[in-house]
Structure 1
Amino acid sequence: MGKRRKNTKTDYIKIGKAITAIALMVFLFFSVFQKLGSPLNDINIEISKGSDKKTLIKEKDVRSLLKTELGYDISIAEIAQLDLYKLEKILTRDDRINRADLFVDKHNNLFIKVEQKQPIVRIDVTDGNDYYLDYKGERIPVTDVFRVPVVTGHVDKYIISFKEHKKNNLNAVLELAQKVHDDDFLSALVEQIYVNEKSEVTIVPKIGRDKILLGQIEDLDEKIYKLKVYYEKGIKNIGIDKFDELDLQYKGQVLERDTDT
């Protein structure tokens, strides 16, 4: 008899736990359902900026991209209507955006964090359709003026896969632009990069001589080293404007020329 009562008590406990679990599941279901059917409370858009504090893309551009995808302004969307992963992909398809992260907090606030691409060089195109390259070599449309070196001359046409084609001289341009971006001395020195018909590269400095001849981009580190040594030691003796041209094309040599003589 005592054993039977004990079993009955155990059964009641199990039933009670089951009812509690079901009630909790129902509560959670309706809570989630209610949240999904709720409108957004607020939208916070944060766009990363480079050291110059300029932006390639503005908040209104982000809203416009999302509106084009959704068919309506995102501010009137319900949470259930938002496929955040898909919207992230939509934003990162834009040439100006490197990464996008979207999430909704417990107060129904939508946060959109956008990491914009950072231009390191501007390509001057004869038809006027100039563009920037970022550090990875991805094309960025010109929407604002960034203080970066400008490339002129005979630059090969940009294609997405240009890095797979060694003969495309954009590879040389990108390699030099990366060196300039990473080096404080070069960043302060280089104003313009000129590429001739043979894909030989010439640097136009911001101050001083007219040009610095690098030639083909091979042995770039050695040429940069020679340039730094020359500026650190040679200028102390002869001054920055003594010669119009500095030629670094030849191994182990730095040639100086005065084009007026």
Structure 2
Amino acid sequence: MLISVGLMLILFSFANSKQGDMRVKNTDVTVTQSYDNYFIDQQDVIGLMTNSGEDVLDKESFKKIKFKKLEKQIKQNLFVEDVEVFRDVKGTLYAKVQQRKPIVRIARSFGYDFYLDAKGNIFPMSQKFTARVLIAEGPFMNKLLLKGFKKDKTYLPYLEFMKRIEKDEFLSAQIHQISIDELGRIKMYQQVGQQVIEFGYPDENLDKKFKKLQLFYERILPNKGWNAYTRVNLNFENQIICE
């Protein structure tokens, strides 16, 4: 029994020694292209891992590779939401990258446009790819950007409003743009139909307003036609004002 235990310890030590001396044989990068977003690709990730080719990973000893440092380098790209770097016993170095998912494009009358995700993170436009998402513009959005979107609790109901549109299959296709005026009142513009929908504030009546909007699409438009009105107001209690 003592001999068997001793032999196992020797074999275990030998295996650990072999693992410690192992070098990188392959690099496997996976970028999750979820939601049909293509902001970053495998070559971009390799460039981040190697400091644009200055650092060599191929045949490098795993003893010298710091996984957390590589993850930090990859996260320098603002389109990266999460990343995991690890290895296997055969000598392959893996990097699994999750991209950010924008739900809104913030259009500005001055300066560059930005994307906004469901967590309230703001990140820049990409030269590689343009996401087809809801466009938000107006003085109120500019004000929130200047303050720092996540630092101002005022943004929370507006983010919830945008998330509701993004999650709804019909509304995400039908509502292509919103404008938010200086006071924070929302207007919605459609892909089909000439009506401007006055949603107002995303306040405690948010659910009621979305139910009225659903009623407008399911009951009123089929009876009156898509071109019957130019203005729809959802702000009044238990009423839908169509003009």
The one-letter amino acid of 1:226's match is K
Shift of 1:234: 0.6
**Paired residues of 2:107 and 2:113 also in contact (CA < 8 A):** yes
Per the normalisation by structure 2, the TM-score is 0.87
Structure 2 residues without counterparts, runs of 5 or longer = none
Percent of paired sites with the same residue:
24
Find the aligned partners of 2:182 and 2:146 in 1 and give their Cα distance.
19
The one-letter amino acid of 1:32's match is N
Change (3 A) 1:203 1:175: same
Shift of 1:113: 0.8
Aligned partner of residue 188 in structure 1, secondary structure: helix
The one-letter amino acid of 1:48's match is T
Q: Which runs of 4+ in 1 moved over 6 A?
A: none
Aligned to 1:166: 153
Shift of 1:78: 1.9
The more displaced of 75-84 and 134-143 is: 75-84
Structure 1 residues without counterparts, runs of 5 or longer = 1-12
Aligned to 1:109: 92
Aligned to 1:8: none
Per the normalisation by structure 1, the TM-score is 0.82
Aligned to 1:46: 30
Q: Deviations over 1:125-182 (max 9, x none)?
A: 2333211111111122211211101111111243796345233xx4343222100111
Change (3 A) 1:71 1:185: same
Aligned to 1:224: 210
Higher RCO (CA < 8 A, seq sep 6+): 2
**Paired residues of 2:138 and 2:179 also in contact (CA < 8 A):** yes
Is 1:60 matched with 2:47?
A: no
Which one of 122, 126, 129 corresponds to residue 139 of structure 1?
122
Is 1:94 matched with 2:111?
A: no
Larger Rg, first or second structure (1 or 2): 1
The alignment yields a C-alpha RMSD, in angstroms, of 2.4
Shift of 1:26: 4.7
The more displaced of 76-85 and 104-113 is: 76-85
